[in-house]
Amino acid sequence: MTSPSIHLADSDCEIQSQVSLAEMTTFRVGGPAEWFIAPTNVEALQASYAWAKAQEISVTFLGAGSNLLISDQGLPGLVISTRYLRQQTFDAQTCQVTAFAGKPLPRLAWQAAKHGWSGLEWAVGIPGTVGGAVVMNAGAHGGCTADCLVEAHVLQTDGSIKILNTEQMAFKYRSSCLQQHPQPVVFATFQLQAGQSAAQIKATTQTHLDHRLSTQPYDWPSCGSVFRNPLPRTAGWLIEKSGLKGYTLGGAQVAQKHANFILNSGNATATDIFNLIFYVQQEVEKNWSLLLRPEVKMLGEFPQIT
């Protein structure tokens, strides 16, 4: 029996019901979306947002599903996936690239390198999208989104699109104003630099990728780094020194290769992962009198922790 669907007027997109979200997250866990759509253009994005408002239901935006833990119960309301909003343009005169929210960040980094444009080499190993990178101020290898963002175009509650510049984004470490005041990113423009040869930039990009592959676990599903680094220390170091490398709870495991990664070892539930995150927090706080703050965003209903 097929799930009911709703066709949006003037669009080739359909809103579907009870769509599993597990395969749309890098953790490979999570329940269904009450309603789900993957728009193919801005008009369909705005139309689906308007539909949710008319139905008076909540809206959740989903990019690559990295840095995200969705509960086993799934999500109420409408989930809007940006997976098909991947267009980008490179302006040779300004050395700026504009990319839509669903554009995979590693792919954009390689495209910039092939143009001989520097500025996104750090992004090659981050398993997220442009939209998520802007919201989270994603970064690695000493670079971050704030370093090169020119402006972000975000969707307002009335369906219009507003432009935010870098100052308005209020970037901080792994943070922006869009976390405190959620406004989904539609597309963003980045300022890059020409001058080096494409070969040099591609070599630097490959070096960053090789480093991530050699130091971080990619053999099992994960969300990337689970906790923010409480600088000057790193979360991974604190977890490792707490003796938690390899610790298992249900189907979830603290990675042996990098302790700030939690892995789905094959049969984990979202609740397993959630409980392991809390356990790691408890142990680190007990040993170091420091509470690790999750970098992973948790959506849906999880067990009450007492």
Residues identified as active-site: 174, 225, 295
**Rounded Cα gap, residues 253 and 251, in angstroms:** 7
Q: Using CA atoms, how far apart are residues 292 and 162, in angstroms rounded to an integer?
A: 34
Q: Could you give the count of Cα atoms lying within 13 Å of 47 in the half-sphere of its Cβ?
A: 18
SS3 percent helix, strand, coil of the chain, rounded to 5, is 30, 25, 40
Q: Where are the alpha helices (DSSP H) in the chain?
A: 42-55, 105-115, 130-136, 145-148, 166-169, 177-180, 198-215, 235-241, 270-288
299 CB-near residues (< 8 Å, 6+ apart): 60, 68, 69, 70, 71, 75
Q: Tokens 């209020």 label which residue? A: 170
Question: Tokens 């029996």, residue?
Answer: 1
* Sheet (strand 75-81) strand order: 5-7, 14-20, 32-37, 75-81, 59-62
Q: How far is CA 247 from CA 33, 275, 295, in A?
A: 31, 12, 20
Q: Are 92 and 125 contacting, i.e. CB atoms less than 8 angstroms apart? A: no
Task: Please report the sign of the dihedral spanned by the C-alpha atoms of residue 236, residue 237, residue 240, residue 241.
Answer: negative
Q: CB–CB of 282/38 below 8 Å?
A: no
**Interatomic CA distance for residues 209 and 27, integer angstroms:** 20
Q: Which two three-digit tokens encode residue 49?
A: 């947002």
User: Could you tell me where the DSSP H helices lie in 12-92?
Assistant: 42-55
